[in-house]
Amino acid sequence: QQQVKQSPQSLIVQKGGISIINCAYENTAFDYFPWYQQFPGKGPALLIAIRPDVSEKKEGRFTISFNKSAKQFSLHIMDSQPGDSATYFCAARTRKLSFGAGTTVTVRA
Amino acid sequence: GAGVSQSPRYKVAKRGQDVALRCDPISGHVSLFWYQQALGQGPEFLTYFQNEAQLDKSGLPSDRFFAERPEGSVSTLKIQRTQQEDSAVYLCASSLEAGFNEKLFFGSGTQLSVL
């Protein structure tokens, strides 16, 4: 049973556009919400993370928006670049990390 | 290299064979995790070591799966009598601190194909 539901499964965006990936959870014991980026043939790499007492966190072109009451959080990739083409996973932690199913992002030049 | 190293990169096994997958974590990292990633899915937790102690093996899918980290550094994940449903990428991750903390560093994984 997946504890974190992620959507969409895939998306295509033009260079310079905005990519938005959404995640939802039920377990209110989650205390840390990271996003991981994975390129083909590589392991996931931590991209950005947020705690539930913060509503937004921005690092460069990547922003997490967090809605505690709705139990939802999202990743926004601004000014998307071809090098951003990868699979993105949201995750949530209690004692261990639970990952979403992933979103494959394709940025067209 | 200073990253997490996993070997072999690819492993093909016939159904019923035993396999052993190796993980070399970042030097000095206390915590080591194994994850299983099925095609098109996110990683699923298998087991956790703090130094040589296996503190959580709740994610191991059956008693055919066994992991060890005898000296608190290199870890081996062993799968006995492999089945087709074991086909997946097996990821190892390590972190400097104890516990299910925030800074996990993943290896590139071992892709296991069971025929």
CATH code where residue B46 lies: 2.60.40.10
Query: Which amino acid is located at A81 in the chain?
Result: Q
Least CB–CB distance from B106: residue in A2, A43, A93: A43
Q: Which domain holds residue B11?
A: 5-96
For residue A87, give the nearest of B32, B8, B21, B37 by alpha carbon: B37
What is the rounded CA–CA span in Å between residue A17 and residue A11? 12
Contacts 24+ apart (CB under 8 A), A47-54: A47/A75, A47/A88, A48/A75, A49/B102
* Domain membership flag for residue B101: no
Cross-chain Cβ contact B41/A101 below 8 Å? yes
Q: What pLDDT, in 10s, does the model give residues A28-73?
A: 999 999 999 999 999 999 999 999 999 999 999 999 999 999 999 9
- Cβ contacts (< 8 Å) between A101 and chain B: which residues? 40-42
Asked whether residue B50 is assigned to any structural domain, the reply reads yes
A49, A97, A99: residue with CB nearest B100: A97
The answer to the question of residue B62 being in a domain is yes
Do A76 and A18 meet the contact criterion of CB atoms below 8 Å apart? yes
Go through the domains of chain A in sequence order and give each one's CATH number. 4-108 (2.60.40.10)
What domain count does chain B have? 1
Would an 8 Å CB–CB cutoff place B40 in contact with chain A?
yes
**Band of residue B1 on the pLDDT scale cut at 50, 70, 90:** low
pLDDT digits (tens, 9 = 90+) for B84-96: 999 999 999 999 9
* Overall average pLDDT of the A69-82 stretch: 97
- Residue B104 in domain: no
Domain-located, residue B35 = yes
